[in-house]
Amino acid sequence: MFALNRLALALMAALAVAGAHAAAGAKTTIVRAAAAKDTSNPVIKVLALNDFHGALESPGTYKADGNAAAVPAGGVDEIAGYIAAARAANPNTVVVSAGDLIGASPLVSALFHDEPTIETMNRAGLDFNAVGNHEFDDGKADLKRMAQGGCHPTDTVNSCRGADVGTPVPFEGAQFKFLAANVANAKTGDTLFKPYGIKAFKAGGKKVKVAFIGLTLKETPQIVTPSAVKGLVFNDEAATINRLVPELRAQGVEAIVVLIHQGGVQTGSTVDINACAGNLDGSPIKTIVSQLDDAVDLVISGHTHAAYNCQLPLASGRLIPVTSANTQGKVLTDIDITLDRATGQVAAITAQNKVVDRSNAAIVPNAQIAGIVAAYKALAAPVANQVIGAITTDVPNTKDAACNMPAGDLIADSQWAATSPSNLGGAQFALMNPGGVRNPGFLYAGSAVGEGDGNVTYGEAFTVQPFGNSLVTLTLTTQQVRDTLEQQFPGCLGQTSTYAKVLLPSKGIRYEWDYTQACGAKVRNLTLTSGAGVQTLVDAAGQVVDAGKTWRVTVNNFLADGGDGFSALKGGSNRLGGAQDIDALSAYLAAYKAPAPAYDPAAANLGKPRIARLDVGTSCP
């Protein structure tokens, strides 16, 4: 009894220390058993990233906390250098990704259907990637091609360019494993990819096994184009994980790591990548972890593009590490798992988020990978470096308290301009989803390609609009327009999102919203100003005016098919397909190319702000 109590006290003390470390921004440590002190026990190194999004080149500078200096971060060649250094120090190293490895990628990867990302990650040494929602951007068939290899079925120009960049032809496919435990064929129940992978490590003359379960958020069908996931079901994350535990136990697995494309964010203004401000309260990932079997030892998460290093309770109350490594390869989570060689169980886990610092002299970037990226960049340069327009100042994708976003306004205007002619749809206004406007928006400062301050290149525009969505103009009644705007808010009219998704309207539309009002009464004073004057769709009391009157409205095909939970748009009639979003954006910016005056986001004729907030909220929810 005394020995048991002493172990319990030691465990409590270790957890207390771990909590203090997390609060101070240091590494997170979880000790499960006294066996952790046995130096003959194997230590497994796990390097984790998430939401890479094909960021082959460094996306810029990054800082680990409020006191740290910003350093040049990321780049797949540098990530490979960190992986090589880790494996040199500990051959028992596993490299994992928690989803969105591909999709919403810069042009240097996206132009070539993300084949460059797969090829460079093969050479960097990735072992497992749990599918994220963006893995489905080009549909399940092309995702299978990413795994298995082969050329794109229709694009013979940009696919299979290995002869030009030094990789095999045809495209080799992933040498790592895609994992999809909760994504299954609706008819057969078979998972799209293997649900988990198992790594065996030698320890004291025997092998100990570690399982890596990979899965994505169950809401994926609501945030991707429905046709891309047709025929697939996305099952509950926690139930899927728990159902696999007995199967893994039967194979002699005692250590279980979850790679999941779902997450949370820290609260407040902290920028400490190793903190856990707010303990992820109210987040989907905390809810999922709270339902997990006690057999789970570690959760590596993603989706929210956040960095955190937390300890969250399982259903049993036992704390485990829950981590996330920001986005675009700027951060790696460095995890040491100590295994009890006698039992195979996890004895201790230490986790720390580390910036992928390109100025770190101890890390040697992978020259082969750098060469592949440079070759793809040269192939893309004639397209990427074209100047397509000009701006007078930054047009960022940041939001104010009412959720106005300068970059989103510009994109909505471009989509309306492309579809307003009667023969192209006769659109009266356009609506843009904020999640489709990527970092950093449009920046005034010139880039390394030398286009000059204020000029916008095609590559820069593509970075903001990387999805390749097509425009759809449809007819909506006033009631359907109002219902669409009500679906911006969690729980309203069937919206299952846990956070607001306030749509960005084109010039002429203005509306107000009040978060404190009941669903169905949040949107007020919705008006359209056009050549016909000011027309009111919803009055100041939230009442629909002339509910049956019709409007021609442009959205992208993602929204038109009910993406982001906007099911009201699926009821639109007289659908007419249009240009791709990036083509509409390029054509719009061409009107602001020298010698024409540059685009001024503060110009009075743009009618800003277009969205007003009536309650006292201070940030976009």
At residue 13, does pLDDT exceed 60?
A: no
For 535: left if phi > 0, alpha if psi spans -120 to 50, otherwise beta; the answer is beta
pLDDT-derived band at 5 (thresholds 50, 70, 90) equals: very low
Position 225 confidence tier, pLDDT thresholds 50, 70, 90: confident
pLDDT number for residue 227: 83
Q: Is the sign of the CA dihedral 570, 572, 576, 579 positive or negative?
A: negative
Let me know: does 56 contact 75? Beta carbons within 8 Å. yes
| Antiparallel, parallel or unpaired: β 255-261 and 296-301 | parallel
State mean pLDDT over 364-377: 98
Beta bridge partners of 355: 331
pTM, to two decimals: 0.83
pLDDT for 202 equals 82
**Confidence band of 125 (pLDDT split at 50, 70, 90):** very high
Mean pLDDT of the chain: 92
Long-range Cβ contacts of 248-251 (<8 Å, 24+ apart): 248/196, 248/198, 248/211, 248/295, 249/295, 251/198, 251/209
Residues 6+ apart with CB under 8 A from 4: none
Mean pLDDT of 131-151: 96
Reply yes or no on whether the pLDDT at 463 is more than 70: yes
pLDDT of residue 68 exceeding 90: no
Cβ pair 614, 521 in contact under 8 A: no
Q: Where are the beta strands (DSSP E) in 274-327?
A: 296-301, 307-313, 319-325
- 282-297 pLDDT, tens per residue? 899 999 999 999 999 9
pLDDT at 582: 94
Asked whether residue 504 carries a pLDDT value surpassing 50, the answer given is yes
**Cβ of 284: how many Cβ atoms within 10 Å?**
21
- Residues of the chain with pLDDT > 70, as a percent, come to 94
Q: Is 468 left (phi over 0), alpha (psi -120 to 50) or beta?
A: left
Whole-angstrom distance, CA of residue 288 vs CA of residue 241: 10
The answer to whether residue 36 scores a pLDDT higher than 60 is: no
Q: Is the pLDDT of residue 113 over 50?
A: yes
At a CB cut-off of 8 Å and minimum separation 6, what does 466 contact? 104, 105, 106, 107, 110, 438, 582
**In which element (H, E) is residue 184 found?**
strand 183-185
Q: From start to end of 478-572, where are the E strands?
A: 504-505, 509-513, 523-530, 533-538, 550-556
* Local confidence band at 23 (pLDDT 50, 70, 90 cut-offs): very low
Average pLDDT over residues 582-602: 96
Q: How confident is the model at residue 8 (pLDDT cuts 50, 70, 90)?
A: very low
Tell me which residue has tokens 């065996």.
Answer: 200
Whether pLDDT at 9 is above 50: no
What is the distance between the alpha carbons of residues 136 and 230, in angstroms, rounded to a whole number?
A: 11
For residue 26, the model assigns a pLDDT of: 55
Q: Where are the beta strands (DSSP E) in 522-605?
A: 523-530, 533-538, 550-556, 573-580
